[in-house]
Structure 1
Amino acid sequence: MSEPTSPVRVAVVQFDPQVGLENREDNLRRGLQLALEAVNGGANLIVMPELSSTGYFFKSRQDAFEHAEPVPDGPSVRLWMDFARQHRIYLVAGLTERDGVQLYNTGVLLGPDGFIGRYRKAHLWNLEKLWFTPGNLGFPVFDTPIGRIGMLICWDIWFPEVPRILSQQGADIICSLNNWVWTPPPLFDEAGKCMASYLTITAAHVNNVFIAAASRIGEERGARYLGCSLIAGTNGWPIGKVACADEEEVLYADIDLTSARSAPIWNSLNDLHRDRRTDLYGPMLGYTQHPCLPR
C-alpha cells in the first residue's frame, strides 16, 4: 500500500450551543473545550456545528442582529483563529455574520496562519428566511496545505447541486455544519440513523468525496435538535459510528484527504464525474430554458 499523500485526522464536534447573548461565552468556551479534546486526540481538521457561537432559534430579526458579528474581525472568529494558530490545526465553525445591515448564516475556515475563507448559507430553512439574507458567495473551495476544503450548511445537503458543485470544483472534503431539527416522525430508522445522515452518506457516495458533518443536540425555545453527526468516506459509508441524538460527542476519522481525487467507483470504466451527461441536464432541470417551452 502506498504512503498517504495527505494524512488527516478529522474530528466533528457535537454539542449544545444555546441562543441568547448571555450564553455566547459559554457556547464559545464549551465548543473550544471539545475542540481541544479533538486536538488532544490527534485531530488536525475540526468541524463544529452551524451557528455554534450563537445558538439557532432567534426570536426576531432584531434578536438575530444583536447576536451577529463581522467576519473576520468579530470576537468569535478572533477566538477561533487564536485557537487554530495555537494548535496548528484547521477549524470550521458557524456563526451569525453581520455585513452592514445584512445578516448571513455563515461558516468560516481558519488555519494555522489565520482566516482562510467563509461560506454563506445558500438555502435558508423555515424562519431563517425572516432574518438571514441568502448566501451570495457561491460555493467556494479553499486550497490549504492539507487539501481542498469546501463547506455547506444544514438544509444545503437537501439540494444535490451543492455537494456536486463543490466536488466538481475539486473539494477533497466537504465540511457540513448543521443544526438538524426534529421534524414529524419517523425521525430515525431501526439503525438509529436520521434522514440527514442518509443524505450525507448519499452525497459522499455519488460525488466520491469525504463529508464531515457536525450537528448539534439539545433544546432551545421549543425547538429540538437530533445530533446524528458523522464522517462519511468517499464510498459514502460512515467511517466509524454515527453520533447519537442527545449526547455531546467527538467523532474521529483517519483519512488520506487527497485520495478523494482518485477514489474508485466499482470498476475501471465508470467514473461519476466523467460520465455526467451535462448536454442533457441543463434544459431538463430548468437551468436553461427547455426547448419545448415557448420563447
Structure 2
Amino acid sequence: MVTGFLLAGVQMEPVLGDIPANIAKTSYWIREAAARGARLVVLPEASSAGYVFADRAEAARHAQPVPDGPTVTAWAQLAEELDVWIVGGVTERDGDGVFNSAVLLGPTGHVGTFRKAHLWNDEKDIYDPNRDGFPVFDTPLGRIGIGICYDAWFPETFRSAALQGADLVVLPSNWVPVPGQPAAVPPMANLLCMTGAHCNQCYVAGVSRIGVERGQAFVGRSVLVGPDGWPLAGPASPDREELLLAEVDLVGSRAGRLNNPFNQPLADRRTDLYVVDGPAVS
C-alpha cells in the first residue's frame, strides 16, 4: 500500500461533442499532473464529450462503451505509461443504456465504473440511473469511492462510501450557479464537499469544469478537502483551467481519522434513532 502521495484535480473545459479534442486536452492535463508528481488524477464530469446535450439521442451519439471506447482506452494507456491512477467522467453506452459515468483506471487497466445515482434536472430524460449503488474500490493508494456532481447534495453518497471504508470520495462534477448564492459565502458545492469530508472522516476531491456550454455556465471552484473538512487545495478560480495538487495519505491516516478523541461521526452514530426510509415529503 502507498502511504502518502500527490492528488491532482484537473479543472478544465471540455469541447461539446468533440471526443478527439477532449482526449487530447485530458491527455495533456494527465501528463502535466504526472510530471508534477501526482499519482491520482481526477478529471471533471462528462470530460469525454461535454455535457449540455439537447436530448437522449444526442447523448447516445456521443456515448461510448466502457472500458473499450476511445476515451477510456486512451486514459488507460496513459495510466500504464505514467504509473498513475485516473478518475474521469465519461458519457457511457451499454447496450441501449446511456449513462453519466465515471471510470477508475490504474496502471494495470480498468478498475471500476460508477454511474451517476442522482440525476439532476433534464438528466432524468437523457440518462439511465445507477442501479448498482455506491461501490468502493480497494487500490494500493487506499479505498476510493465515487460520486458525480449532484450526488454530493445527498449525504447518503458520502455515508454509503464511508461505511464501506472509503478513505477518499471523488466527485467529478459540472457545478452550475446556485440561485440565491450570497457573494460572501463559499459556493454551495464547496460547502457540501467540506461537510461530507468532515462528517465521514474521509478525504473528498470535488473537481468541476469551467466555461459556458449552450448557454449553461459552470462555476469551476474545484476543491480538495482533508478529513477534517478544511480545504487542502482550492477552491480554484471560477473561470480558469488549472491544476490543483494536495499531499494526502489515505492509508496512513486511517487510525488517526477514525479514532479522533473529540468527535467520531461514524462510530458515534445512533442508528437506533434514525429514520432510514419513509414516504417522500409533499
Give the direction of change, closer, same or farther, for the CA distance of 1:264–1:173 in structure 2 (3 Å limit): closer
Counterpart pick for 2:61 among 62, 66, 69: 66
Residue 12 (1) aligns with residue 17 (2)? no
Residue 180 of structure 1 corresponds to which residue in structure 2? 175
Give the direction of change, closer, same or farther, for the CA distance of 1:96–1:267 in structure 2 (3 Å limit): closer
Letter in 1 for 2:64: E
Counterpart pick for 1:134 among 121, 129, 133: 129
Give the direction of change, closer, same or farther, for the CA distance of 1:275–1:39 in structure 2 (3 Å limit): same
- 8 Å Cα contact 2:221/2:234 also seen in 1: no
Classify the secondary structure of the residue corresponding to 2:114: strand
Shift of 1:170: 0.5
1:197-208 correspondence to structure 2 within 5 Å = 197-208=190-201
Residue 189 of structure 1 corresponds to which residue in structure 2? 183
Residue 286 (1) aligns with residue 281 (2)? no
Residue 169 (1) aligns with residue 164 (2)? yes
Residue 218 (1) aligns with residue 211 (2)? yes
Give the aligned CA root-mean-square deviation in angstroms: 1.7
Aligned equivalents of 1:267, 1:6: Cα separation in 2: 19
Letter in 2 for 1:274: A
State the percentage of identical aligned residues.
44
Aligned equivalents of 1:84, 1:221: Cα separation in 2: 32
Letter in 2 for 1:140: P
Shift of 1:269: 6.0
Letter in 2 for 1:131: I
Q: Which has the larger radius of gyration?
A: 1
- 8 Å Cα contact 2:44/2:209 also seen in 1: yes
- 8 Å Cα contact 1:125/1:155 also seen in 2: yes
After superposition, give the CA deviation of every residue in 1:248-279 in whole Å (9 maximum; x if it has no partner): 01000011111442234795264211111111
Classify the secondary structure of the residue corresponding to 1:9: strand
After superposition, give the CA deviation of every residue in 1:18-67 in whole Å (9 maximum; x if it has no partner): 222xx221112111111111111100000000010110000111100001
Letter in 1 for 2:43: M
- 8 Å Cα contact 1:123/1:134 also seen in 2: yes
Classify the secondary structure of the residue corresponding to 1:107: strand
Counterpart pick for 2:243 among 237, 250, 273: 250
Structure 1: 4+ residue segments shifted above 3 A: 263-267
Aligned equivalents of 2:191, 2:131: Cα separation in 1: 27
- 8 Å Cα contact 2:2/2:141 also seen in 1: no
Aligned equivalents of 1:189, 1:258: Cα separation in 2: 37
Classify the secondary structure of the residue corresponding to 1:139: coil
Classify the secondary structure of the residue corresponding to 2:184: coil
Counterpart pick for 2:233 among 209, 220, 240: 240
Q: Tell me, which stretches of 5 or more residues in structure 2 are unaligned?
A: none
Between 251-260 and 116-125, the greater mean CA deviation after superposition: 251-260
Aligned equivalents of 2:118, 2:132: Cα separation in 1: 12
TM-score (norm 1): 0.90
Aligned equivalents of 2:54, 2:26: Cα separation in 1: 23
Classify the secondary structure of the residue corresponding to 2:166: coil
- 8 Å Cα contact 2:175/2:208 also seen in 1: yes
Aligned equivalents of 2:77, 2:146: Cα separation in 1: 21
Aligned equivalents of 2:253, 2:209: Cα separation in 1: 27
Aligned residues: 279
Counterpart pick for 1:159 among 154, 160, 164: 154
Aligned equivalents of 2:140, 2:220: Cα separation in 1: 30
Residue 40 (1) aligns with residue 35 (2)? yes
Give the direction of change, closer, same or farther, for the CA distance of 1:5–1:81 in structure 2 (3 Å limit): closer
